[in-house]
Amino acid sequence: MVAVSEASEVSSENTYDRTKELEEFDETKAGVKGLVDSGVVKVPRIFYNSHDVRLHLHEAMSIQSHSHDQIPLSFPIIDLKEFITDNKDSSQRKEVVDQIRKASETWGFFQITNHGIPISILDEMLQGARRFFEQDIELKKPLYSRDFTNRRVLYNSKFNLYSSSSAEWRDTLGCIMSPPPLHPEELPPVCRDILMEYNKQVQSLGNALFELLSESLGLSNKHLIDMGCTNGHSLTCHYYPACPEPELTIGNSEHADSSFLTILLQDQIGGLQILHQNQWTNVRPTPGALVVNIGNLLQLISNGRFKSIVHRVLANKIGPRLSVACFFSTGFLPHTRIYGPIKELLSEHNPPIYRETTVKEFTLYGNNKGRNGISKLEHFKL
């Protein structure tokens, strides 16, 4: 019996042509949603993710066997109501700055409530993303590409599908919103208006957060903005279909963002996890809240004071899960501005730990390196 099983496994290995299967999947331009719509009941092998799945299963077994020892972690939730509604010299400002500083130094992630973006716009943004992914495939195909060098709006299942160790259980719509400002006609008609409105709202929120982050570092409130941290940004909509075998794959493999800052809108399904104190911690959706996380570039210029944390998204039998991420980065700008640890933060007792680089160099290195479990920042350490 064992011999037959082993023979079957060997036969399967001999007949599996990963490149061919990737090409066949890619050529459909239908993404993961196309697989689900076709009635697939087994996850194709190109989606097997041994690294994240192994961690996922180990974690599940650990929680099951030691559930009585688990102490819930208090994920930071910061209320911006006083900061957003009152003048910026209010007595609440220092408290908000202190909360953001603590969260950025210890978690690298936090949720914000009363952030000023109406719930109706958040809901419509998620619905707009759903409309795009669930429209007829022939309407999406013209945008199917991985070439951000020649187009600013594109759709695919994974930007590095062929170079990564596995495909991931999601589809993505990416839009480089600035600079220069993206012309509305370049956006898909089915979600054009809400993308433009949400972009305006989240850009304003980003400016406010960079002011608070600057103060959290003990700098003038415009310091990070004056450095150009808000000069470029993109919107990325993710669609995670229900998965028949979520234990075999991953929605978004573990990684840390290359941006200065990321603002994430997620629905109520959940699945986002961060690696905090060497254990995966769920970022449970909070109605009306947005998730904020520090990116690699902000960790670099803060000389390691703010932390860019590894995170992932699990596949789920429930779906589709929808999310919209706004990445603040200047990676798409043509200029060659040099970024390094902020000089005002350095001293004899706090020397620079990273070398200077351009965002272009940093981004290209990250894209070429791929997701191998090693932080991009290691390459830039002195």
Give residue 124's pLDDT.
98
Asked whether the beta carbons of 309 and 280 are under 8 A apart, the reply is no
Give residue 3's pLDDT.
43
Give residue 335's pLDDT.
61
Asked whether the beta carbons of 107 and 78 are under 8 A apart, the reply is no
- The verdict on residue 1 lying in a domain is no
The model's pTM: 0.90
- The verdict on residue 2 lying in a domain is no
Structure confidence by residue, pLDDT tens digits, 121-149: 999 999 999 999 999 999 999 999 988 78
Beta-carbon contacts of 371 under 8 Å, excluding residues fewer than 6 positions away, are 164, 165, 253, 254, 255
Which domain CATH number covers 201?
Answer: 2.60.120.330
SS (H, E, C) 285-319: CCCCCEEEEECHHHHHHCCCCCCCCCEEECCCCCC
DSSP reduced 3-state for 55: helix
- The verdict on residue 160 lying in a domain is yes
What distance in Å separates the CA atoms of residue 126 and residue 195, rounded to the nearest whole number?
10
- Nearest Cα neighbor of 320 from 236, 249, 241, 244 is 241
Give the range of the structural domain holding residue 288, as residue numbers without chain letter.
Answer: 20-64+76-380
Give residue 14's pLDDT.
60
Q: Please tell me the total count of domains within the chain.
A: 1
What distance in Å separates the CA atoms of residue 110 and residue 351, rounded to the nearest whole number?
28
- The verdict on residue 13 lying in a domain is no
- The verdict on residue 188 lying in a domain is yes
Flag residues of the chain having pLDDT under 50: 1-11, 54-55, 57-71
Structure confidence by residue, pLDDT tens digits, 48-102: 987 655 445 444 434 333 333 344 568 999 999 877 655 555 778 899 999 999 9
- Nearest Cα neighbor of 106 from 259, 308, 375 is 308
CB atoms within 10 A of CB 226: 13
- The verdict on residue 279 lying in a domain is yes
Give residue 169's pLDDT.
98
- The verdict on residue 327 lying in a domain is yes
- The verdict on residue 69 lying in a domain is no
Give residue 74's pLDDT.
80
What distance in Å separates the CA atoms of residue 248 and residue 54, rounded to the nearest whole number?
9
